[in-house]
Amino acid sequence: MKTFLLRGVPNSVQTDGWWMSEPPTPNQPQTRGSTQPLLPRAVALAALVVAGDALLWQAQPGLSLALFGMGILLALWLLNGRKGTGALGFAALTFLPLVEHAQALAYGFFFAGLMLSVVWLALGGWPGFTRWFGALWQFFEVAPEAAMSEVNRAVRSGLSNSPEISLKAISQSWLVPLGLGLVFASLLLSANPMLSGWFEGIFQATWLSAELFYRLLFWGGLAIAVIPILLAPSLRERLKLGTSTLPTVPVPAVLNANSILRSLVLFNLMFAVQTALDLTYLWGGASLPDGMSYAQYAHRGAYPLLATALLAGAFALAARPFTNTRPLLRIALLAWVVQNIFLVLSSLLRLELYVANYGLTHLRIAAFIWMGVVALGLVLVIYQTLKDKPATWLLSRTALLGVAALFAASFLSFSATIARHNLSQERALDTRYVCSLGPHSLPAIMAYEAKHGRRICFGPKLAKLQFADWREWGFRDWRLQRSLAALTAQAAKEAL
C-alpha cells in the first residue's frame, strides 16, 4: 500500500489521508513498520553483529570502529538497491580522523558522518543541506518506534497461528531500560572485580562462562544499535517530512534601521580608538609606558579582543537585513567589519608576541586557529553585504568553515607541534610542561637531548612502541613508531 502524504500541515497529521490510499488486500498485514522482506535485513543484522564482535570486542575503538561503520553503510547500501553511493565517499572522509588518531574530536566526526550517511542512503540520493539535516532530526524521532514495529512484525511472522502480538506498550516502557541496562551491566561487570568474581562463581560450573555472558551483552547492544539503521530505507517517506528550510528568528523591536545606524556610528568611533592604539604600539613599535612589556600588552588583549570580534560578527549578522535600503548604514557596517578584521589580526600579533616570550601551549595554538577562522568569517560578512546574500548563506558557510577547521585540526598532533616549537626557542625552557605532553612529543624531546647532550625528561621513553592489536592501529601512532625507531637507530650508530 502506497503511503499518501499531506504536505504543509503538522507532521503529526501528515499521514492522516489514509482513506485516499489504495485499500489493503485481505491477506496483506496492516502494520506501521516496514513492508520489505525480513530475511535480507535479518541476514545483514547477523553479519554485522559477527563483524562487530570481530572488530570491536576487547579492542580500543579506532581503526576497528571505522571499519565497522563502513560495514554498516555497505550493508545499508546493498539493502537500499545500491542507491546513494555518494554517502559512502562522504562517510570515508569523515572516518579519516578516527584512522589518524582515536580522540574525542575523531569520535565526533565518526558519529556525525555515520548518521548523516545513513540518512543520505535512506533518501536514495543527495537531498540538499537543509533537507539533509531535517531528515536526520526526523530519523532520530521515528527510528526507535520503527525498530520496535519491525520486531513486532518478526514475532507475528514467526507466530502466524497465534493471536496478534503488540509490543508497542512494552517497547515504550522497556526499550530504554533494557538497552542502556545491557551497556551499563557490561561496563560495570568488566570494571568491578567483585561483581566479576560473583558472576564467575555462578557460571563456573555451567557452560555459560562469565566472559561469554559479557559477550552476549555486547552482541545485544550491537543489535539494538544496528536495527534502526537497517530500517532507514523503509522510513524514506517519513524522513522527507523533515523541515527543508531553516527556522526564521523574529527580529526584536529594538533592532531597527535607526538603532542599528546609531550603534554602528558609536561602535566605529570606539573601535577607532583601539585601532589607533594598535597601529601605534603594536604595529608601529612605539615605546610602551614604563613598567609594561610587549608580552604584558599582548596578553591583556588577545582573548578579550577575540571575544569582541565574535560579538561583532553576531551583531553584523543581525544588522545585515537593514542595509538594503540604507546606503549609509551599509557603509557604516562595512567600515566596522573591516575594523574588526584588523582587530583580529592585531590579536594574532599579540598572541604571537606572547608565545615568543612564554612558549606555546594547547590553549594558545587553539586560539591561533580560531582567530584565523573568525577573520575569515568576517571576510564572508563583507562579501555577503556587498553581494546581498541572505543570512542562511552566511550561516551555512561559517558553519562549514568551522567544521573544516576542526577537521584539519584532527590531523595535527598539537603535542608534537608544541614540543618542537618550545624546544627550538632560545629562552628559559619549561621542561615540566614539555615532558607532560605525552608520547607524541618524544621525537622532539629525544632530538633535543641528543643535540645538547643532556636529559630533560626522566622516566620511560616508550622507544619500543608496538601495536599489540592491529584493530588499534592509528596512522599517527604508526608515524611516531617510525620516528622513535629512526632516532634510536641513529643514537646507537653515534654511540659506536
- Residue 110: what are its φ and ψ, rounded to 5°? -65, -50
Distance CA 154, CA 246 (A): 38
Examine the pLDDT at 301 and tell me if it is beyond 80.
no
Which of 437, 288, 246 lies closest to 360, judged by CA? 437
CA atoms of 42 and 226, how far apart (whole Å): 11
Question: Could you write out the DSSP letters of every residue in 403-469?
Answer: HHHHHHHTTS-HHHHHHHHHHTSSS---HHHHHTS-GGGHHHHHHHHHHHTS-S--S---TT---S-
Tell me the pLDDT band of 465, cut-offs 50, 70 and 90: low
Q: Burial letters for 268-297: b for 16+ Cβ neighbours within 10 Å, e otherwise?
A: beebeebbeebeebbeeeeeeeeeeebeeb
The length of the chain in residues reads: 496
Phi, psi of 187 (to 5 degrees): -65, -45
Q: What mean pLDDT is predicted for residues 138-166?
A: 64
DSSP 204-240: TTSS--HHHHHHHHHHHHHHHHHHHHHTGGGGHHHHT
pLDDT exceeds cutoff 80 at 225: yes
Output the pLDDT for position 101: 93
Give the closest residue to 410 by CA, choosing from 65, 99, 70: 99
Grid coordinates 607532560 are at which residue? 436
Q: Where residue 496 falls among pLDDT bands split at 50, 70, 90?
A: low
Tell me what pLDDT residue 204 has: 57
Question: Which of 352, 349, 317, 354 minimizes the C-alpha distance to 336?
Answer: 317
Question: What mean pLDDT is predicted for residues 430-439?
Answer: 86
pLDDT at 199 exceeding the cut of 90: no
Check: CB of residue 268 under 8 Å from CB of residue 335: yes
Q: Is the pLDDT of residue 463 over 50?
A: no
For the chain, the structural domain boundaries read 11-23+33-239, 257-412, 432-495
Q: Angle CA(329)–CA(332)–CA(334) in degrees, nearest 5?
A: 110
Give the pLDDT of residue 169. 55
Locate cell 659506536: which residue? 496
Q: What is the pLDDT of residues 234-287, one digit of tens each?
A: 888 888 776 555 555 555 666 677 888 888 888 888 888 888 888 887 787 776
pLDDT for residue 124 is more than 80: yes
Mean pLDDT, residues 173-194 taken together: 67
**pLDDT for res 354:** 82
- The C-alpha R_g of the chain, in whole angstroms, comes to 30
Q: What is the mean pLDDT of the chain?
A: 78
